[in-house]
Amino acid sequence: MAKLIPCSFVFILSSSILVMTNDGSVFSDGLSTRSRWIVDERGHRVKLACANWPSHLQPVVAEGLHKQPMDSISERIRFMGFNCVRFTWPLELMTNDTLAFHVTVTQSFQRYRLFQELDGIRRHNPSILHLPLFNAFEAVVSSMGRYGVMVILDNHKTVPGWCCGNHDPDAFFGDPEFDPNLWILGLKKMAASFRNVKNVIGMSLRNELRGPKEYPHVWYKYMQQGAEAVHASNPNVLVILSGINFDTDLSFLEHLPVHVSFKSKLVFELHWYSFSDGRGSWRSHNLNDFCAKILGKVRNNGGFLLEKGFPLFLSEFGTNQGGGDGDGNRYMNCMLGWAAEKDVDWAIWALAGDYYLRQGKRGLVETYGMLNPNWHHIHNSTFLRRISVIQPPYKGPGVSHNQHNRIFHPLTGFCVVRNSRKRRSELTLGPCGRHEPWSYNGHIGTLVMKDHRSVLCLEGDVTGGRRVKLGKKCSKIERVSASKMHLSFKTRLGSSLCLDVDSMNNVVANPCKCLSKDASCDPTSQWFKIL
């Protein structure tokens, strides 16, 4: 994650999400890629829905172990619907044997005078107190394995600490603290160390390459070497390559592909935060125009890889879950619509409730975190509901095909459904998993509910502010504005209205909000993504 940042759900053991048997047998040769999909040995899609669990800061211990037993955190990961973790590590954990094998967890916390935190570890995770740091790292991976959590080992930086700034000494290959040969050595050792650990399914080679010296030709040289090294040391893992400019840019791959000797293991990763698009930009532009513009950028910077037949792993995104980040709030709606439509693999920043020590501050709270600082309670259940819509796979090999459309409302994380009580013709918001039999025909502009008894149209013949109903009179529904997320129709008197949601989550019709140019208003209550 870039340093720029100032810094109850049902537990579904669906076979499409949890692909691992308890003994991990499904993964004996790991996952592989088939076109843009990540698949298991049966060729069935495995969608990565991960959270980032930092373990690369100064103490080099997975965060949160002073608050909860590691098994309890692993259980929470599954409880929130994630099937995987991007687990970060500093290169020194593999290139400095003193750090890895001779410094114990106790010594590491003592070194930073984190005595209260050490007490917490003694209480919640006594078994790791006297383990060397590398063995403690392994213990956390095993804990995730016990809960069926897949792990991607992410080399986050070289020296333990918070990441990332443009002028860090380990920003790009050749920087004072980024010796490419040492890095390759570290990757090899890490890959080999987890060769027989079934739940380790991927390695992400280096987080957020950046800085004044980043050149694509240097990127190819070392990323290809790193990829070969990892594959040779552990042929089971997915090899995940990140881009330049804080991993927001893989555009150079459009014209020059990566050359590696192995097949079906290569994945690319991209990061996307609101501040990647310029601070304040999401609030200072019209949201429809800006969302469309940024989606064009995301396509050019990496989205095109899906079309070229590579999996694209959105391995960092997120925002302040307290709701106070106006830029982040706007970005999230645009991002979620995109992620749902593309059905990409992803990892949210972050699982963390807080950090032992980050940027010199003890106990810094992670405002982007899924868990509270107690590492048990969910930070914001609305936020979790919104991202839970993109957890299950909707497309890809082996995913049970659903021919119906869903009408996703990114702002709430709900979908448009029929009123469940007496007034079945009225529409409201409800869980996206309910799979209402919607069918959208973009050519003629009809939005139809194909019931087993009847075919009903969205009937927009209402005046502003009134509820939208299902009926016999079909309104022509158009996707308007640059974002294409407004669903608009004409009333009998010829005026245009847009679908909207009132404070009770009823679906209503209202005058369309700031379709273009106007930056002052937030149209997202009227944003629906037809999936």
Ligand X SMILES: *[C@@H]1O[C@H](CO)[C@@H](O)[C@H](O)[C@H]1NC(C)=O
Q: What residue ranges bind ligand X (CB under 6 A)? A: 96, 98-99, 103, 321-323, 380, 382-383, 386
Rounded least distance, CB 388 to ligand X, Å: 12
SS3 assignment, position 256: coil
Residue number, 359 or 382, with CB nearest to ligand X: 382
Please give the Cα distance from 238 to 262 (Å, whole number).
11
d(CA 50, CA 200): 13
Question: In whole angstroms, how close is the CB of 134 to ligand X at the nearest point?
Answer: 12
Nearer to ligand X, 296 or 322 (CB): 322
**Residue with smaller CB distance to ligand X, 387 or 457:** 387
Please list the residues that pair with 460 across neighbouring strands: none
| Structure tokens given for 83 | 């099937």
Pairing mode of beta strands 200-204, 312-316: unpaired
Angle, CA of 152, 334 and 483, to the nearest 5°: 140
Residue 107: CB minimum distance to ligand X, A: 9
Smaller CB separation from ligand X, 99 or 164? 99
Q: How far apart are CA 477 and CA 480, in angstroms?
A: 9
Comparison of 62 and 100: residue with beta carbon closer to ligand X: 100
For residues 334 and 291, the answer to whether their CB atoms sit within 8 Å is yes
Distance, first Cα to last Cα, the chain: 30
Q: 37 vs 109, which CB is nearer to ligand X?
A: 109
CB of residue 324 vs ligand X: minimum separation in angstroms? 8
Shortest distance in whole angstroms from residue 377 CB to ligand X:
12
Amino acid residing at 272: W
Helices H, strands E: what count in the chain? 13, 24
Report the nearest approach of ligand X to the CB of residue 123 (Å).
25
Quote the least distance from Cβ 330 to ligand X, whole Å: 11
Q: Which is nearer to ligand X, 114 or 197 (CB)?
A: 114
In sequence order, the 6+-apart residues with CB closer than 8 A to the CB of 152 are: 48, 50, 84, 85, 86, 87, 200, 201, 202, 203, 204, 238, 240, 315, 347
Determine the distance from the C-alpha atom of residue 303 to the mean position of all C-alpha atoms in its chain, rounded to a whole number.
Answer: 14
Shortest-Cβ-distance residue relative to ligand X? 323
